[in-house]
Structure 1
């Protein structure tokens, strides 16, 4: 009798655990009800089997096979769990296929790595992760600080420090063999965006340094020009006097000079009179 009670407890425990699992995967009352129904059926089958034994009508083909029942139940629940997993919509599937096709047709080498090359890169990162991630973090911190700097001299200096760290990281990776070379290339040399299929992190920093150097020079030229005109220079006329610079950049520099307290703008008609302090 104790054996049958133990079996019954096991059946109920399994059913309750399965019901809880279904509820966590998909919190629908229906799945909890299904679990309870299965528990009730197991109990009912057990009682029915006991009654048949008391009456002496045992039938081996109709006896309850607990292992089989549990296996069938697990299969059914697994099927329901799989069914509950959200699938990609048709649009998402098309977008995914479009991305994969774009990568296949891209000239960027990172999209054409062999399995062996990817494994080499993975193994390298696993072995040297702490060192390379430290250098990467420091490099990005320097560049971020440069982008937030309040003056062009500071921005340029910080960006150049970021470039030094970039070269240090590259040297470290390349010295560790093919895996390090592939890792560095795919992360920092074979970058891509909607405007360019291939560019490096160094290219990005170099472009920003060039921009900041241009703006630094423009600021010096603009202030010198305004000072030389002794309060007689109109803003609408300054653009033709600085033909090698864009109008947007000149306007940005004028706002900076005014914010720095180096010039004063006085309204005159539809434009401004620029006066050096």
Structure 2
């Protein structure tokens, strides 16, 4: 049943109000994140720092660590999308559904295992450190949301739509590209958003294998009992996670079939 608001706008089941609230959140969240991030940077830099602190708290070093953190997140995202979405599509095909429990089980193991354990195991197995030794375990840890959301999104497509497409002479590949994947986009975006936040959070552990990132500031501050360095690294990591979550929400809200927004 439709209701009329004080402004004269007609709403049905609260959808326009929800849309307006989401738009407001997407507008406010990045502003708050930037304000908090700028405030903590100003607070950290506008102090009488010791020589040890200045080695860590300087514009060049902080910018480098943020950049490294972003690179890890981008690499993890690319791997998760390139593996999770195609794999999710494959296990929804009629001839490969029997493989679904296997791949879901592997992804579940990746997320159930502690991220720090995966990092250490890969280091012990390869005997190496560096960027990819930090990226690959985090990608495995972040894979499940995208894989499961792709499977869910494709599985929820109305069978009547598929039968109608087949009746019009569309091939299975055309049905996938023009019907199933477009309708699954909102689900995939939701899973990717979760994976992004997981990637940013666990990337703080990548310093353990010499892959860089803001975890270096957190670890240094903790070991030296330096609260300024510790707070700076922690707050910047939180701000980065919230900013990435905002970007995911932006894509989730504006990308995809217009009729499903």
TM-score of the superposed pair, with normalisation by structure 2: 0.29
Bigger relative contact order, structure 1 or 2 (CA pairs below 8 A, ≥6 apart)? 2
**Which one has the bigger helix percentage?**
2
TM-score of the superposed pair, with normalisation by structure 1: 0.27
Q: Which has the larger radius of gyration?
A: 1
